[in-house]
Every structure is written in structure tokens, then in C-alpha cells.
Structure 1
């Protein structure tokens, strides 16, 4: 895996943690108004473009059956997500004050486990699963489903077919009567996956930016992501946030990072990014509860709370990653010494 992809995974995950940490501040102390510092939601858009890129990169030039592809994706995504979902359900039933945004009913829980869009029992206006950040996984799994179905096509036909399928889906969702499914799958945010696929094709064709333009694209992408998140609403994210994410990824993969020192800690956090993303809500809930119980209001200091959120979410994600990926340890142990 390209090391810059690992870096971007880590950065995107920590952006989302930061975003949710800022949101938690209002629950820690209602007097705190941190809306001016509310950034990081766009980490999701980086993840989506990255996902399309990686799926193309890992399947291009090799024979991959839809079953094998689905098996790998399920092994990667499902166990930890199901564990987090069931853990949330248990906590919500046993101690509902700990996870205030979680209300359990059987249809919602079932839909969450099956990666199907469903109105959240705690707030029916939103279409989110039991583990709220998992709404992105509902899109991911749908993209994987379409991607897997098109794998039998030749690579020359695969990308046009993907564009056709998603165009039909988006148009159909606009024309059909409004339902939870048409509202969810009718969001053009799914086009970010296709953008990543196209970038993957360009990378495989060695159509890359010159080094100075690549660094400019990377910097410009992050700058516009920061500005657009402040100025543009999530309803326009597929272009206001998606296009800067495309610049970021295209710039990053065009740079030859093999000539640069490897940032081992950031590379490792990239490995842990999925675990960080899935588990950080529990870490933030723990910190929020701790803030009410510790003396002197230590955790009610906004800067300290956010820093601890980032650090403890990273540590917690790393621990869960190590627990849930034993094969990495076996492989490392069996590797002959250098």
C-alpha cells in the first residue's frame, strides 16, 4: 500500500474525531460555544475518494471474482462494526445516559447490522445506524456491492458501466416517490467513490502530476477543504468538499514518497484508521462522562478535552486494531530477521 494513502487515512480519521470532539464540548459544558472551530467533517469525503481509488488499485490487472472481493470486504468491515453495534445496543439498554444519541429498537438494529439505511430511533429525521458514524459504511457497502457486480466486465468497460449504474440510481431516486432508501441513495456523495476509481485508473496509467504541481494540488485541496467546510453546507458536499478531496488524493499519489522519510507513527495510525473511526464515539462518550465526575472541571477545558479526544481515540483505535487483526502479529513473528 502506498504510504501516502496510509497518511491520508490517518488524517481523515483524526479529522472526524476532532469534528465530533468539538460537537461534544456543548454536552460537556453548555456554556461553551465552539462552533467557530467546527471542522473535520470533510474527512469522510477524503475517505470516500480514497475508497474508490484503493478498490481500483487492488483489483486492476488481476482476476478477482465478485465472491472473493466481497469476502475480503466483509472480513475487513463487518466483524468490528457488528461488535460496535451490538455493544452500543447493550450499553443503550443498560445505561442509556452514557450514549445519549442511541435509542434501540429491533428494526433499526437489524437494518444497522445489514448496512441498510433506516431512520435513527433517537432522531427519525436522520438516516443513521445505531453507531452513528456508520452511515458512511452504508454507502461504502453499497459501493462495494455495485463494484463487485461489475468485476466480471473488462477493465475498459468497468468504469463507464459504474458511471451508468450510479447515474441511473441517482436519477431513479429523484424521480421515484420519496422514501428512506431514495433519500439516502439519491445523495450525489456517492460520486466521490467514482472519482476515486477514476484517479485509480489514472494512477495505473501513470498519468500523474509533475512533482511541483502535485504538492500544489495537495496544499490547494486542503486549503479549499478548510474554507469550503466553513462556507458551504453539507448538502453541497459532493462538489464543495468532494472536489478538494480529489485534489488532495491526486496530488498525494503523484508525489514520490519513497524519497521522503517514513513517518512511522502516522503510517501506523493509517493502519488503525478504521478502528479509530468506528470506536471513537465510545471514547468521546467516556470523556464526556468523566468530565462530569472529575474534580475542578479539568476536562471542561476545551483545548484539553479535544487533545485528549484525539490522543485517547488514537490509542483506543490502536488497541482494538491489534486485538482484531491477529494475522498481522503472526506474520510479523514468522518473518525472518533482517
Structure 2
């Protein structure tokens, strides 16, 4: 695994975490992260990383369609279901504590990840629906060998174009033709570009600088509210792809930072668990009357989320994945605890 990709996973998770921390602060009239909405673009970076990693994985470990999907299921679903059960208990006791920002919550959709237009028990779960749809499309072309990546790109691009041409309110159709699927395509393209030729340092610096500038511009321009072709995939996905290319291209210059690396390794646990930890910290601060201490509240949410994410990764996510993998080592030779 590229060290730079682990750092990017850490960055993506921290982006999303800061976005949700910013929202919590805003709800309590604390103006510390005025540009916090830029953090939501961490999801776009996650999608690009997924496209890249799946290409890297399939090239290292040849697999069948079934073995590939089994491996992805084991990597993603156990922790998600465990935390969804926790959220379900909370929901049954007090429904207002789950998805408190509003909207219908579907228990069935939460556990199947089939997007029916309702919210999931873990609101972040909507991104896993896209992940699994990408895995499905990607895996279907495994039998085509060297043509797999090109066919995946063609399929996802075609679906996104169909989505532009067909106007419908059907939630399932909108899902399978979402422009967000193009961000997985960007990850595949990034993989091929990096394989083809290493980008020079000066160009990497330009890519990183330009991508960050574009992201801050988009965040402050109100572009999200405008009708832009391919929408978020264009105004957030492309800058994130530039950032990805810029960072991965300087892999050979990357020192190994233990903190960033561990956040990257535990990014999935952090991503799923942090809504719980943010709520827990908020309740604690409210009970002891510390909500006026804005910086303490902010750093407590940040640190507790990162630490609890690592603990969850170390003592829940990893052991469960390893245990299931050992139950059928031949089927799960394609499983990798770091991806």
C-alpha cells in the first residue's frame, strides 16, 4: 500500500470529521469553522481512492467475481452492521437522536444499503451504497482481464450520461446514474496515469496548490446551488483528483508519519464511528456546563473521534476481518486488511 494513499485516506476522513464538527459548532452558535462545509468533499476523495485501490488490488491479486465481492463484503459490512445495530437501539429508544437533522429513517435500507430515498441509521451509510455499486460494476468485468478497467470506465460514464438525459424522480434510477460514479472513474484514470509515468515534482506542487485553491473557491462561490453538468463530480471530484495525483506522485519523497498513517489505517472506523463520538462529547459537555468553552469543545470532539476510531479499528474492525478471513482462507486470499 502506498504511504501517500494512507495519508490521503487520513485527509479524507479528517475532512469529513471537520465538516461534522463544524455543523455541531454551528448548531450551538459557535463560529470556529466558518468554511467547514469544504470538509464534505472528503467523501469525493474517498471515492477516488476506492477507484485507485481497486485497480491496485486486482492487478496484484487475480480473482473471480464472487471472491472479489466476498472480500469487499468482509472488509466493509461487519463493522457497518455492528454500528448500525447500536444506532438501531438508540433509534428504538429515542428516534429523535438518530438523523436529528430531519428526514425519514429506513431500517431495511440501512442494513441492505439499497437506496430508497430514506436516510440510514448511520447517515454516512449512503456513501457505502455507492461503494458497493462500484464494486459490483468493477467485478462484473473481471472476466475481461486487461480490458476490465476500460470497460468499467465506459459503463460508469455511460450511466452518468444517461442520468443527464433522463429526467426522473425514481430514487433507484437516480442512484445508478449518479454523476458521483465518475469519481470512481477518476480513481481508475489516476491509477493508469501514475502507472504510465511519474509526474515531476514541480507539476505535483502545481497540482496540489491548484486543487486546494479550487476547493476553497468552490466552497465560497455557492457553486453547489447552481445547475452544473455532472455537478459535484466536476466541482469537487476534479480538484480532489488533482490533489490525489499530486500527492501520490511524490510517494518517493514521503516520510512515514506515525499519526497520519494510523489515522489512514483506521479511517473507515473513524468515518463510521465519529457521529456517535461527536454526539457523546456534546452530551458530556452539555451535562457539565462546558459548552461555552469553544476551543475545548472543538479539540475534544477532534481528539476523541480520532482516538475512538483507532481503538475501534484495532479491537473491533481488524479482529473481525481477520477471524472471518481465517474461516475460509482460500476464498479470502483477496482480502487485505489495509484496503
**Do they superpose with TM above 0.5?**
yes
Q: Does 1:318 align with 2:315?
A: no
Q: How many residues align?
A: 315
2:120 equivalent among 124, 129, 151? 129
Aligned to 2:25: 25
Aligned pairs (5 A) from 1:1-338: 1-27=1-27, 29=28, 31-33=29-31, 36-38=34-36, 39-60=38-59, 62-99=61-98, 101=100, 108-120=106-118, 128-155=119-146, 157-173=147-163, 174-175=165-166, 177-205=168-196, 207-231=197-221, 232-233=223-224, 236-257=231-252, 259-295=253-289, 298-324=290-316, 325-326=318-319
Of 60-69 and 146-155, the range deviating more from structure 2: 60-69
Any idea what the Cα deviations from partners look like across 1:152-184, whole Å, max 9, x if unmatched? Answer: 1122x2233123312332344442642111223
The match for 1:335 is: none
CA RMSD of aligned residues (A): 2.4
In structure 2, relative to structure 1, the CA distance for the partners of 1:131 and 1:328 (3 Å cut) is closer
Q: What secondary structure, in the 3-state scheme, does the structure 1 residue paired with 2:143 have?
A: coil
Secondary structure of the residue aligned to 2:34 is helix
Match of 1:326, SS state, is helix
* Contact 1:191–1:238, Cα closer than 8 Å, also in 2: yes
Worse-matched range after superposition: 77-86 or 211-220 = 211-220
Write the distance in 2 (CA, Å) between the matches of 1:252 and 1:145: 28
CA contact (8 A) 2:215 2:239 kept: yes
Q: Which runs of 5+ in 2 are unaligned?
A: 324-339
Change in 2 beyond 3 A, CA 1:260/1:9: closer
Contact 1:117 1:184 in 2 (8 A): yes
1:150, 1:158 within 8 Å by CA — same for their partners in 2?
Answer: yes
Where structure 1 has 5 or more consecutive residues not aligned to the other structure, the ranges are 121-127, 331-338
* 1:188-231 C-alpha deviation (Å, 9 max, x unpaired): 011010010111122233x2211221122123222322222222
In the TM superposition, residue 185 of structure 1 has moved relative to its aligned partner by 2.8
- Does the C-alpha gap of structure 1 residues 179 and 308 become closer, same or farther in structure 2, counting only changes over 3 Å? same
